Chains A and B, each alone.
Chain A
Amino acid sequence: MRTKLRVVAALLALVVTAFWFFAGANRGWTKTSVAEKFKDPVTEIEVDRYMKHFVPGVDYLGAGLAAAGALAGASCFLRKKTAQI
């Protein structure tokens, strides 16, 4: 059980970090929409039109690593199984 928890913790940390990295390694806050510029051809006014798009940020990374750390920490409180003679 102890080992399983540690393996899950390690996998969680790996998945969270990989997802954050390949989603753009955003060093700001998590975003659920991104801006696309639109220019009105008559007035030449530019406006940001927001499109739904999830971009994980450092808060997402931090929360994922904290959860992995909590799992790994919890594993320390479990007794190591000793072989019965």
Chain B
Amino acid sequence: MKKTALLLVLAGLNYAAIAAPSSFDFKDPKTVNNVVFRTDAPLESINGTATGISGTVTFDPADPAATRGKIVVEAASLHVPNPIMEKGLQSDSWLDVAKYPDITFEVSGLDHVKTDGDKTTADVTGTFSLHGVSNKITVPVKMTFLKDRLKDRFPKLQGDLLVLRASFTIKRSDYGINKAKFEDKVSDEIQLTLSLAGQSPR
């Protein structure tokens, strides 16, 4: 009887260890993590990439709906190929990166969660903060849990990887960026595409 009880306790502890949510760090030493932004303009669309990514997300493959966390993008890491355009984009006339250095997305909940193997899709609701303004938005996100694959990126480390992919559109006017101005030169809509990998070492 005692032996059975002890076995049950040990089994329970083992299950808890497997099912526990892991914390994934999205600061990427390989600078592969990126956010691509695209907005239409008369001459050509403005395309840029930001690689200054950081943040933490807790994810449990047994309970993906409980995913929570925050992704931070360093606004000054936004790069476009034209240096004058980049300077203008980061200036106080547009993003004002000196005053608002971070663009963040903080997860508050998930809906319509579907898991198929190592892939999970969900509608993620959270607070998106840009240019000092925060709005609650819901975006479709695809999460891929790569168990024990951390060593493939960093041979000296054991652990898991979590890949997040999302694509959504925001309006710059919703974030106080030249609201109702220059819409004949720069579209109000900005498409964002996130490709991020977080690591959880054991």
Contacts and interface: CB of A to CB of B under 8 A. Distances in A.
Given A40-B30, A40-B32, A58-B43, A47 B149 contact: no
A77 B13 CA distance: 93
B195 A45 contact: yes
B33 interface: yes
B70 to A, nearest CB: 20
A55 B196 CA distance: 30
A50 B197 CA distance: 20
A38 B51 CA distance: 13
B22 to A, nearest CB: 16
A38 B49 CA distance: 13
Contacts of A57: 82
Contacts of A27: 43-44
User: Which of B33, B82, B152 has the most C-beta atoms of chain A within 10 angstroms of its own C-beta?
Assistant: B82
A47 B163 contact: no
A32 interface: yes
B32 A45 contact: yes
Nearest to A44: B163
A31 B79 CA distance: 12
B82 A47 contact: no
B197 A45 contact: yes
A29 B30 contact: no
Given A28-B44, A43-B163, A34 B81 contact: yes
Given A28-B44, A35-B49, A58-B43, A43 B81 contact: no
B146 A31 contact: no
Interface of A: 27-35, 38, 40, 42-48, 50, 55, 57-58
Given A27-B43, A57-B82, 19 more contacts: A29-B82, A29-B85, A31-B82, A32-B81, A33-B79, A35-B81, A40-B30, A40-B153, A42-B149, A42-B152, A42-B153, A42-B197, A43-B32, A43-B153, A43-B161, A45-B34, A47-B49, A47-B51, A50-B81
Interface of B: 30-34, 36, 43-44, 49, 51, 79, 81-83, 85, 144, 146, 149, 152-153, 161, 163, 195-197
25 contacts: A28-B43, A29-B82, A29-B85, A33-B79, A34-B81, A35-B81, A40-B30, A40-B153, A42-B149, A42-B161, A42-B197, A43-B144, A43-B146, A43-B161, A44-B163, A45-B33, A45-B34, A45-B163, A45-B195, A45-B196, A47-B31, A47-B34, A47-B49, A50-B49, A57-B82
